[in-house]
Structure 1
Amino acid sequence: MKLNCDMGESFGSWQMGDDEAVMPWIDMANIACGFHASDPDIMSETVACAIAHKVVIGAHPGYDDKPGFGRRSIPHSPAAIRHLVAYQTGALEAICQLHGGHVAYVKPHGALYHDLMGQPVVLEAILTAMAAMNRQRDIPLSLMVLSKRDNSVIEAMARQHQVNLLFEAFADRAYDEQGNLVARSQPGAVHHDHHKILQQALELASGQVTTLSGQILQLQADTLCVHGDNPESIATIADIRKAMTI
């Protein structure tokens, strides 16, 4: 299973995460595009680091909400959603071109990610934007989404737009019985224990996860996310990589 991490989420002199320490251990970097975090200089530094470590680059667009770190849902028309996804993905693509790289996929950030999973109109807008961008690309962009108990609706919409999906799971987030992430506002939503994160990572690699209530849920995923803003999970990335290569 590929490891992915949210990266490049610093902004000016404000630092978030430890990208240089994390990059050698991951396969895919979800790089912030300037709306919820980052700036052109941080984007460039992160892209250069990813390319140096042969890490696949993904755009991590979010709502224009640096004070809320993109975790607050902001109402947008479908057209506005299409524009913000295209704008941010295009900005990262241009930075990638400076370094001889390219964007391979899109993983919406924070509230935008949750909105696409719960609101078909948001997902439709994102897929429409990506389908239009893909018509101009030699290598089409894939969309990274949350693997749930039932992915049939998302799969059908993605097929309609001819957009490939990458299903992800989370090593450091609690799940409910439907395969949804437990809201960060709820107790126990984010795992902070090294052993718990490692245990869940290995469990997900085997195709299942234990929910917050203790139920075993079958869950198939292409890639595993460890959040770059969670110090405990960053410290566990190397152990997850080593365990998955045994």
Structure 2
Amino acid sequence: MMQPQLSSTIERRLLVNYRVDPVVVARLLPARMRPRLIRGHALAGICMLRLSKVRPNWAPKGVGLRSENAAHRFAVEWDGPNGIETGVYIPRRDTASRVNAVAGGRLFPGDYRLADFRVHETPDELHIAFDARDGAAHLEVTVALADELSSSELFTDLDAASTFFQGEAGGFSTTRPGGHLDGMALHADTWCMEACRVRSATSSFFDDPNLFPPGTATLDSALVMRDLPARWEPLPSMALAAH
């Protein structure tokens, strides 16, 4: 079932990015997808998103949901009817909202797992952590705002990173019982990213040697967006092909 178009405010969208061995990433993707390469690396990461005023476009502006969410992501490409298409594949979504968890696959794309979030933010620093209630995922990251993007091997500067992520607006999420991926595209009238310096980061996903053998996933960069109106447009479901 196609989800409705949604309006929202992105109060905060923190992207923590890893450069990863493409061979390792390829094993974690649906068969029809492949890693999108940047300077020979695959790109993966976690999006930590706080949304407010989330509502279907037909709902009154005075109503809307607010929630903390996290999504594990891979930058991917695939062969479409008109050539190569690009976007992100999201194998797991976590949320603090019971509404999101119940409405996943109907109002929101993909399945959501309930998690407990701990967030502390100032204008210059963000600390975000979550523990999934199913015990399968946890993360803790602290970043500080920076004047420029430095030490990234994926992006030459902040403008290059911002342009890349603006072009990765379409995301496809795992659903139950399987067989297809839910799709949703982010549209924002303004697009402003700020560079961050990572002070510390731990991830049960990227630190798992069974998924990412030592040396195959390296923390690369972090970026944040704040206080932006955004629209979410449903995309046609993508049928999965077996490996």
> TM-score, normalising length from structure 2?
0.27
Question: Is the strand fraction higher in 1 or 2?
Answer: 2
Question: Is the helix fraction higher in 1 or 2?
Answer: 1
Relative contact order higher in (CA < 8 Å, ≥ 6 apart): 2
> TM-score, normalising length from structure 1?
0.27
